[in-house]
Amino acid sequence: MTTIARRLTIVTLMMTVFALSFAALAVHPSKRPLGFNISTGGLCVYSNSGECVATL
């Protein structure tokens, strides 16, 4: 019985670490390794201005 309790404790701790890391990523979504913003979908009036962002 102690073996089952030990294994469940290890699995619970692993799930806790995963949940906390996922929550930290959800709170700060702008800290992505990729340097572009996918959510910008505005129209570009002047295409030669530096503020136009290409959408994926």
SS3 (DSSP) at 37 = coil
Per-residue pLDDT tens over the stretch 9-50: 999 999 999 999 888 877 766 555 554 445 555 556 666 656
Enter the DSSP assignment of 26. Answer: H
5 has pLDDT over 80: yes
**pTM for the whole structure:** 0.45
pLDDT of res. 14:
96
Residue 8 vs residues 5, 13, 17, 18, 51: alpha-carbon distances, Å: 5, 9, 14, 15, 53
Task: Identify residue 39 by its one-letter amino acid code.
Answer: S
Residue 55 vs residues 21, 22, 43: alpha-carbon distances, Å: 28, 26, 10
pLDDT of res. 27:
74
pLDDT of res. 50:
62
Residue 53 contacts residue 37 (beta carbons within 8 Å): yes
